[in-house]
Structures are given as structure tokens and as C-alpha cells.
Amino acid sequence: DSLLLGEIHMSLLSLLLTSVVNELQNGALSLASKDCQFYAFLQF
């Protein structure tokens, strides 16, 4: 059960990182926005 939870967590982390990298490559995120998203992720 905890293994499944870990796999879900890693999948979500991977999805988030992929999304952030894509946004960075497109230049759509400002530094403040990145910091805010990172802080929100840490609170998750």
C-alpha cells in the first residue's frame, strides 16, 4: 500500500518537473512564479 503511494508520489513529481521544464523552455515563467510554485510544492 505504501509502495503504491510512493509510486504515485514519484509520478506526480515527475509530471510537475516535466511541466516546469517545459514552461522554462518556453520562457513563460518569471522568477517569482517559479519560487511561488516551488514553495507550494514543498508544502504538498
The whole-model pTM stands at: 0.52
pLDDT at position 19: 85
Q: What are the domain boundaries of the chain?
A: 2-43
Whether 20 contacts 29, CB under 8 Å: yes
Q: What is each CA distance from 18 to 1, 2, 3, 23, 37, in whole angstroms?
A: 26, 24, 22, 9, 13
Whether 26 contacts 9, CB under 8 Å: no
Distance, CA of 2 to CA of 25 (rounded, Å): 34
pLDDT at position 30: 57
Q: 1-44 pLDDT, tens per residue?
A: 789 998 999 999 999 888 888 777 776 555 556 566 666 777 65
pLDDT at position 33: 64
Direct distance between the N- and C-terminal alpha carbons of the chain, in angstroms, rounded to an integer: 20
